[in-house]
Amino acid sequence: MFQEAPLTIHGDYPSALKKLFRTKPVVVLGDLRRALGTASRTTIFRVLLAAGYRSSYSHAGRYYTLRDIPKFDSRGIWLYRGVGFSSRGTLRDTVIYLVEQSAEGQTHDELQELLQLRVHDTLRLLVQGKALRRQRFQDVYVYLSSKREVASAQWTKRQQLVAAAPSTAELESSRIIDVLVDVIGHPHDDAGAIARRLGASGHQVTNEQVEAIFTRYELKKTVRSRSRRLPR
């Protein structure tokens, strides 16, 4: 999470901290101990508080960076070598924000693609705590706002997106090529990830249409078998 800077630290600690982050934009506690020359967690976090820092939403918050280092994307996410930071702070708050701000809600796979980690447990706890709602849609759960009116609008939008998508029979050859090119570039992704990525670039295609292309061209049999799991 992001912490403000209410403390003033004297001595060599601030300069040592700046030197560390000039060479390593993301660090762990061991890096801080070596750079500051102290094993005291209290001292280390006093120095971090004075400088202003963020902890990662991934890896159980074990990674740290200074508050001005991250270059967040439009959703407030910054990924550095597989370590995720969020402008919202914690994983819990980030998931709530992403769902609340989505016009059509979010599935687990959509959130996983955004955050680059699985969030099953986080979603389960948020639903149990009534911070989010969920509703089954086709073969997955869609996570929706805790606010009834917003959730209703998200659900309607999700249904409209599927209704507006062309049928498999009407799929243009250029769209089939789009899918095949995406498979080459992302050979381990499932149909849902491919459909979302193409949709984000303006090429609307459904999971079912991608699956049909997989079948037609005998692609991704292993991935497709996993995509038939029970709703999450």
CA distance 9 to 140: 51
**Predicted confidence (pLDDT) per residue in 13-62, tens digit:** 999 999 999 999 999 999 999 999 999 999 999 999 999 999 999 999 99
216 vs 105, which has greater pLDDT? 105
pTM metric for this prediction: 0.68
Does pLDDT of 222 surpass 50?
no
Domain boundary assignment for the chain: 2-69, 91-164, 173-226
Give, for 144, the enclosing helix (H) or strand (E).
Answer: strand 140-145
In degrees to the nearest 10, what's the CA dihedral of 14, 18, 19, 20? 100
CA distance 231 to 14: 50
Say whether pLDDT at 80 is over 60. yes
The per-residue pLDDT for 163 is: 66
Residues 6+ apart with CB under 8 A from 53: 2, 3, 64, 65, 66, 67
d(C-alpha 141, C-alpha 44), whole Å: 42
Taking the domain 91-164, which CATH number applies? 1.10.10.10
pLDDT band of residue 204 (cuts 50, 70, 90) is: confident
Say what percent of the chain tops pLDDT 70: 85
How high does pLDDT run on average in the chain? Answer: 85
- The CATH classification number of 2-69 equals 1.10.10
The predicted structure's pLDDT at residue 198: 87
- 4-18, 102-116, 117-131, 133-147: which is most confident: 117-131
Q: Is the pLDDT of residue 133 over 90?
A: yes
Cα–Cα distance list, 29 to 22, 70, 112 (Å)? 16, 18, 26
Judge whether residue 3 has pLDDT over 70: no
The answer to whether domain 2-69 and domain 91-164 are alike in fold is yes
pLDDT greater than 90 at residue 6: no
**Confidence at residue 219, expressed as pLDDT on a 0 to 100 scale:** 75
At 137 the three-state DSSP class reads strand
Beta pairing, strands 77-80 & 83-86: antiparallel
